Amino acid sequence: MTLKTITIENVKGISHQQFELDIIPNKPSLLVAPNGFGKSSFATAFASLNAARLKLPTESLHRGTEGNKPRLTMVVETAGATETLVADENSNQILAKFDVHVLSSRLRAKATKRNMGGFTSVSASLEIDQVVLVDRIPQKVQFGYSLAECRKSFGKNGKILKSIDAVLGEHNMADKLLQLEPEIKKLSGVRNQKALNDAAGKINAQTGTTDQILNWSLANVEADLESIQPIRLVADALTNFNKSLPTRLDKLLGAFQLFQLHARDRSKFISACRYSNYLAEKNSHESIIRSFDTTWKDIKPKEHKGKLVVDFPLAVDISNGQRDSLSFAAWLQKVSAAPASRDCIVIIDEVFDYLDDANLVAVQYYISNLIKEKKSIAGRVYPLILTHLNPLYFKNFTFKDQKVYFLKKYQPSINDHFKKLILKRSDPSIKPRVDRHHLHFEPSAVNLRNEFKALGLKETWGESAIFHAHLESEWKKYLANQDDYDPFAICCHARVRIEERVYMKLPDLGVKANFLNENGTRKKLELAESSGVSVDDAMYLLGVIYNEGMHIREHVDNSSPIVAKLENLTIRKMLIECVDG
């Protein structure tokens, strides 16, 4: 199933926005947008879904106006067929298809009032919201297993039964027993009951020591027990208990004891399994959260009013990174414990942008494991990671198979001829002259029409003067706030003009020659400064802009991240000052 489009209406800063995405399942999907674009509004829309509707407080509606009715629409595609899912204030079709989990900052401000002799004192603090891991702790029920009772119930030779305490005491086994419970129940059927009684009767008819009876049963009864499907399936689940149940016959007889326990009180058996499974979940929660806890606060899950929760210290007592990594750890446990019957959308709102390297690697590891868990049961999960950091340049995300989507689409895009030139710039027939005359400032012109034609490039651009005239025309579009300029041409023009302006200030022809022969704009600027020329800091700072436009990556949106920078008002002001003076 592909998430084709997501449309959000009247949520916080978003009035109406449709995102064309085509997100595929079981891949980490990085949704990139600049600060202030509305990533938190995107997350809020999904976080506000409940079982019946899309419900937002007034302050989260667009412009805080109750008349602005929120709406979240998803178009999904399965095997070529599309379906539209809508959530609004009256209904929610999305949660019929997907489990939705949203992680965003849990930081909130709290004001505390104190009345003191007619005066009111107000103090403020930053707190971190509690995370509820288990909404309802199951009733504490024990299995009530007794080996002596099972041996007595089995009959004269019940002495051959080995204890299944290890099985019942292994909390991680409880979930498997719950899954197998329908099979265990089948053993109460007439046919299976007769087969079990016949097998027990044969064993009880024997005489001798325990080992002698076990050896006889191995040869004469094991096959009978294997032929009872529920017994066989339960025995298969006991594979890891070789120490307490060393032989296959021991495991088959262990399955027989589980049936006895179940038959004695089915309700108690199920309740005990549920409580044991809860203890397994609790242990897992504690382990994961402990691995992320670098504070001195000993943060761990605790039982409170019938729930398993994680309480955090005041925000001032832990760092931002500790807060975010611990919030992630607690939240991840909640996602992992959710029912696996439906596809899952997981939205992470910029939490990762501020983690240190170690915690960033750790959280990516756990997200990868979440994907593996879903895939192992033929499920689908859509991890949507909202970030303002373009992963093409900031190497903070290192997922093996991550996908990158730019939420904010820009009209300006690279000219196909310019793209071909950048991709072919390293061809030996043009490289040294294109680098010098086209992509950097060089007062003399060059004519490479024949070489450009041979490489399938725009022939007229082989003349560097014509190429620079094209750059100038694109720059004029940028100055006029037109939306059809070529962002890569703007970057190239900025670099050439900055170099030209500095070149014109150089003191003599020898220094100018060295400047033109130097590789790289930064080195050219440093050479100029060493020769006594004052170079504006902004010319250095803009290097991340104009150098970015000289590199193309295949099969990705190259234009959007550059345009995002060029459209920034501060960057625009810096460029105009450095290019035109």
- pLDDT > 70 fraction of the chain, expressed in percent and rounded: 85
Q: If pLDDT is split at 50, 70 and 90, which confidence band does 85 have?
A: very high
43 vs 283: CA distance, rounded Å: 30
Q: Looking at the predicted structure, is the pLDDT value of residue 532 above 90?
A: yes
Phi and psi at residue 349, to the nearest 5°: -95, 90
Q: Identify the residue whose tokens are 């450095």.
A: 578
126 vs 269: CA distance, rounded Å: 45
What's the rounded mean pLDDT across residues 488-495? Answer: 94
Which of 31-40, 271-280, 296-305, 361-370: highest mean pLDDT?
271-280
The C-alpha torsion from 545 through 551 and 555 to 560, rounded to 10°, is 20
What's the rounded mean pLDDT across residues 58-67? Answer: 91
- CATH code for 2-110+312-406? 3.40.50
Top pLDDT among 106 and 435 is at 435
| 14-23 sheet: strands from edge to edge | 14-23, 2-11, 71-78, 81-88
Q: Looking at the predicted structure, is the pLDDT value of residue 492 above 90?
A: yes
Which of 326-330, 373-377, 475-479, 565-569: highest mean pLDDT?
475-479
CB atoms within 10 A of CB 32: 24
For residue 343, the model assigns a pLDDT of 87
Closest CA to 147 of 262, 258, 275: 258
For residue 372, the model assigns a pLDDT of 86
Top pLDDT among 127 and 399 is at 399
Return the half-sphere exposure (C-beta side, CA atoms, 13 A cut-off) of residue 226.
Answer: 9
Closest CA to 382 of 98, 19, 141, 71: 98
Point out which residues pair with 98 in neighbouring strands.
343
Q: Using alpha carbons only, give the angle 472, 516, 497 rounded to the nearest 5 degrees.
A: 20
Q: Looking at the predicted structure, is the pLDDT value of residue 332 above 80?
A: no
For residue 240, the model assigns a pLDDT of 87
Q: Identify the residue whose tokens are 């970030």.
A: 387
How much is the CA Rg of the chain, to the nearest whole Å?
34
Top pLDDT among 323 and 157 is at 157
Closest CA to 130 of 359, 301, 355: 301
Q: Using alpha carbons only, give the angle 436, 441, 444 rounded to the nearest 5 degrees.
A: 75
What are the start and end residues of each CATH 3.40.50 domain in the chain? Answer: 2-110+312-406
For residue 411, the model assigns a pLDDT of 66
For residue 139, the model assigns a pLDDT of 93
345 vs 102: CA distance, rounded Å: 8
What's the rounded mean pLDDT across residues 309-334? Answer: 68
For residue 115, the model assigns a pLDDT of 66
Q: Looking at the predicted structure, is the pLDDT value of residue 156 above 90?
A: yes
Q: If pLDDT is split at 50, 70 and 90, which confidence band does 191 have?
A: very high
- Residue 60: Cβ-neighbour burial (10 angstroms; 0-12, 13-18, 19+): middle
What the block records as the tokens of 334 is 């909640």
Name, in order, each residue with C-beta under 8 angstroms of 77's C-beta and a sequence gap of 6 or more.
1, 2, 4, 83
Q: Looking at the predicted structure, is the pLDDT value of residue 106 above 60?
A: no
Name, in order, each residue with C-beta under 8 angstroms of 255's C-beta and a sequence gap of 6 or more.
230, 231, 232, 234, 235, 238
Top pLDDT among 195 and 361 is at 195
Q: Using alpha carbons only, give the angle 300, 303, 308 rounded to the nearest 5 degrees.
A: 75
Name, in order, each residue with C-beta under 8 angstroms of 538's C-beta and a sequence gap of 6 or more.
574, 577, 578
Average pLDDT, the chain: 86
Q: What is the pLDDT of residues 411-432, one digit of tens each?
A: 677 788 998 999 899 999 999 9
Q: Looking at this protein, which amino acid is placed at residue 71?
A: R
Q: Looking at the predicted structure, is the pLDDT value of residue 266 above 70?
A: yes
- The CA distances from residue 487 to 406, 545, 549, in Å, are 16, 10, 7
